Amino acid sequence: MRSMIRRVISLSGLDVSECLEAGDGVEALEMVAREWVDVILADINMPRMNGEELVRRLSEMGITTSVPVIVVSTDGTSLRRARLMKLGAKGYLVKPFAPEMLRDEVERVLGVANAN
């Protein structure tokens, strides 16, 4: 999924200088502690620390107020979506999604209009 997302981002027309990858929530937390990022895309299903716990931790650290988090999940239920948004996620993308849906969601949470 990370390679596919990387490809979509690179083709999106968004001005991306660097795309960092973390293998799980623990790695992601370590990464945002030492790198400045503009947006975080997090899958729900990750080893060690899942996406829900990651959003919870980012929110507790106050990071979600300045860095939008988009959760990517196969779970399209409204309960899960509401839970993640309440935890601090700014976007929620249900898999499967077309590449342009990912681009649109990134643009929406970043407040970028018509990047292409």
Tell me which residues touch other proteins (CB under 8 A).
Answer: 1, 3-4, 7, 44-45, 47, 73-80, 94-98
Q: How far is the CB of 66 from other proteins (least distance, A)?
A: 29
CB nearer other proteins, residue 44 or residue 63: 44
What are the distances in angstroms from CA 36 to CA 28, 31, 39?
12, 9, 9
Classify residue 88 by its DSSP letter. T
Contacts of 102 (CB under 8 A, 6+ apart): 5, 8, 9, 12, 93
Cβ(66)–Cβ(88) below 8 Å:
no
Q: Closer CB to other proteins, residue 44 or residue 58? A: 44
Residue closer to other proteins (CB basis): 11 or 115: 11
Q: How far apart are CB 84 and other proteins at their closest, in Å? A: 12
Q: Which is nearer to other proteins, 65 or 77 (CB)?
A: 77
Determine the Cα–Cα distance for residues 32 and 10; give it in Å rounded to an integer. Answer: 21
Kindly state the smallest distance separating residue 53's Cβ from other proteins, in Å: 12
Q: In whole angstroms, how close is the CB of 85 to other proteins at the nearest point?
A: 15
Beta-carbon contacts of 12 under 8 Å, excluding residues fewer than 6 positions away, are: 99, 102, 103, 106, 115, 116
